[in-house]
Amino acid sequence: MCGIVGYVGAQDAAPILLEGLGRLEYRGYDSAGVAVVHRTGKGPATLKVRKASGRVADLAADLPARFKGAPGIGHTRWATHGEPSVANAHPHTDMSERIAVVHNGIIENADELRAKLTADGVEFTSQTDTETVAHLVAAAFANGAADLEQAVRTALKQVVGAYGIAVLDSEHPDRIVVARNGSPVLLGVGEREMFVASDVSALVGYTRQVVYLDDGELATITATGYRTFTLDDRSTAKQPSEVDWDVVGAEIGDHAHYLVKEIAEQPRSIERALRGRLDERFSTAHLGGLNLTIREAREFKRVKILGCGSACYAGELGAQLIEDLARVPATSESASEFRYRNPVVEPDTLYVAVSQSGETVDTLAAVQELQRKGGRVIGIINVVGSTIARQVDGGIYIHAGPEMSVAATKSFTSTLIAFALLALHLGRVRDLAPTEGRRIIDGLNQLPAQIEQILDEEKRTGLIAETAAEVAQRSSVLFIGRRRGWPVAKEGAQKFKEVSYVHAEAYASAELKHGPLALVSPELPTVACVPDDDLFEKNVSTLAEIRARKGPVVALAHRELSTDLADRTIVVPRNEPELDPILMSVPLQLLAYHAAVALDRDVDRPRNLAKSVTVE
C-alpha cells in the first residue's frame, strides 16, 4: 500500500524521489514526504525533511527551490496508526533530527516500544508506529553502535511485525540502510548511483537491474554499490535481475485516466499472455514455468485456487475452466479466509495462488502455510520477481505490463487467459480430445480482435457511457449471472463499487427468489449477464421476473434483447462458451469507468483503496 523510494548518487535526490513517488501513487496513499542529507562546505551534514497531507503534487509544490541534497528517501503513506496528517506523514525523525525513517507495514509491538522509549525521555511527535524505529536507531547509537548498519540491526531486533524500511543518517551521509520483513523492498543498480523502492514501477526510466530482498534481509547502498546481509550480520550474495517493464508502458499517454488506458490495452496484453504458449500441432499449451512433468500433472485429483478480490473472482472462472476442460474438481477460495482456518492439505491437490502484484499479504501467507504442510503451489502473477513469484514452486507470468490504476482490468483478463492455458494443458494430458483443444486455441486467438470490436463499438455509439451515466445516479445496483456469468457479475459489481462509490451487489440469478427479489423496484437497476448458451431461457425467465416488478435492466448479451426484457442491451461478440466470460467482463469495466467519470470520482486512485495490499 504505502510506497518507498530512495536514492544515493551525485544528483540531487528530491526530483528523483518525487518522480518515483509519482509512479507509486497508484498503490493508494493519503500523505507524502521526503528527506535528504544536505551538505554545505566543510560543516556537518544536516537532514532536510518536508511532508504534506494529500498528493505528491502538493508535496512538490511545497518544496523550497533550494531543497538540495543526497542521499534521500521518500514515502507515500496509507494511514494505519494515526489519521492522515502532516505530523503522521513519513519520513519520521529522532529527537535530534539526525535519523530519518520511512516504513511500510505494521509494527505490532509499537505500543510497548513507545512506552519504553517515553520512559527513557523520548518525546514523540506523531501517532505512528514508525516513529519508534527512528528513536530506536538513535538509542542504538547512544548505546555504542559503531555504524548505521549496526544501529539499524540493533533497532530491528526489538521490532515485532511486518516492515519494509529505509533509514537515513546525516552522520553517515554516503549511504541508506534498508530492511525487509513481510513488506517488499528492492534495490535498483545504476551507474555510480543506487536506488531503493518498494515497487519496481518507481524505478522505471532509471534502471532495469534490480535486487529483490528476502524477509529477514537488510542492505546498505552507496553510490558505488550495495551489500546485503542478515540481522546477525551474515553476508548474503544477492545478484541483480533484469526487469522487462519500460517507461512507455507506465505512462498515461493521451488517455484521460490510467484505467481507460489499461482497458484499451487488453487486446495487446492478451496477445502477450498467449505469445509462445499455444502448441498448434498438438492442440495444447506450452507452460514450462509450471515445473510439472506430464506424470505429475496427471496425478493431481483436484485443484484449489486462492486469491483476493478480483484475483479470487478470476479464480472462480478458472476453476470452471479446469473442470470443463480437464474434468478435475476445482474450487476457488478467498486467500484471506483460507489462511486463518486449518485447511486439509492434500498431496494430490494442485494449489494455485493468484496475485497481480505478487505481494498480496494474505495470498503470500496462504502460500507459506501450504508449503509448510507439503502442498504443491504454483502462481499466476503479473510482476516478475515479486515475493509470491519467488516463493511458489512454479507458475505462469501473465505479462500484462504495468497496471497503474487501482482497479484491475488488463491483469484480470490476462489472468483468465492464464487459467484457460492451464486448463487446456491439464485437459490435454488427460482426456481432452485434440479437436476440443483446437476449438479452445481458435477461440483464444480470436479474443484480441473481439475486444477491439467491443472498444471500437463503444467509441462509435457511446452506449456504455450513456448507460453508466444513468445507472450512476441510483443509490444501488444489482449484478446477476448464472454459472460462468456469476463470477463475471461479481467482478462487475466489484469494479462498479470501487471506482464509482455506488453500492453494488452481485447475486446468482437463480438465487433471486431466495431473498434479493424483495429489493427489486423501479429504483434498483439490474445488470445481467445473459450469454446465448444452454441457460439462455433460464436467464430470460429471470429478466421477466425483474421486469414484472418494474425493475430497470441492462443486459450483456450476444444478441439484442427485446425491450420487454431489457431497457438496454450491450451486445458482446460470441466466442467459445468457456471463453465468453473474458469478453463479457470488458463492457463491465467500461461501465464502471464511465460511472466514475460521470460522478467525478478519482478514477485511478479510489478512496481508501490501494493497488498492492501488503498489510492486513
Domains annotated for the chain, with CATH where assigned, are 3-242 (3.60.20.10), 258-444 (3.40.50.10490), 468-597 (3.40.50.10490)
Is the pLDDT score of 616 beyond 60? no
Q: Are 194 and 225 in contact (CB under 8 A)?
A: yes
Is the pLDDT score of 42 beyond 60? yes
Taking residues 397-402, report their average pLDDT.
90
Q: Is 477 exposed, middle or buried (0-12, 13-18, 19+ CB in 10 A)?
A: buried
Taking residues 344-349, report their average pLDDT.
93
- At residue 462, the pLDDT reads 96
- Which of 523, 535, 514, 500 lies closest to 407 in space, CA to CA? 500
- At residue 385, the pLDDT reads 81
| Per-residue cell: 235 | 553476508
Is the pLDDT score of 530 beyond 90? yes
Q: pLDDT for 256-308, tens place per residue?
A: 999 999 999 999 999 999 999 999 999 999 998 999 999 999 999 999 999 99
pTM over 0.85: no
Q: Is 463 exposed, middle or buried (0-12, 13-18, 19+ CB in 10 A)?
A: middle
- At residue 123, the pLDDT reads 95
Nearest-angstrom CA–CA distance, 346 and 366:
14
> What is the pLDDT of the chain when averaged over all its residues?
92
- At residue 85, the pLDDT reads 87
Amino acid at position 156, single letter: L
Lowest average pLDDT, out of 50-54, 339-343, 415-419, goes to: 339-343
Q: Which helix (H) or strand (E) holds 378?
A: strand 376-381
Is the pLDDT score of 248 beyond 50? no
Please list the active-site residues.
2, 611
Nearest-angstrom CA–CA distance, 580 and 571:
12
Q: pLDDT for 157-181, tens place per residue?
A: 999 998 999 999 999 999 999 999 9
- At residue 28, the pLDDT reads 66
Q: Output 249 or 527, whichever has higher pLDDT.
A: 527
Cβ partners under 8 Å of residue 40, min gap 6: none
Q: How confident is the model at residue 202 (pLDDT cuts 50, 70, 90)?
A: confident
Nearest-angstrom CA–CA distance, 409 and 380:
15
Is the pLDDT score of 455 beyond 50? yes
Q: pLDDT for 413-454, tens place per residue?
A: 999 999 999 999 999 999 999 999 999 999 999 999 999 999
- At residue 65, the pLDDT reads 82
Q: pLDDT for 89-125, tens place per residue?
A: 999 999 999 999 999 988 999 999 999 999 999 999 9
Taking residues 554-579, report their average pLDDT.
96
Nearest-angstrom CA–CA distance, 322 and 302:
10
Q: How confident is the model at residue 18 (pLDDT cuts 50, 70, 90)?
A: very high
Taking residues 533-538, report their average pLDDT.
92
- At residue 525, the pLDDT reads 97
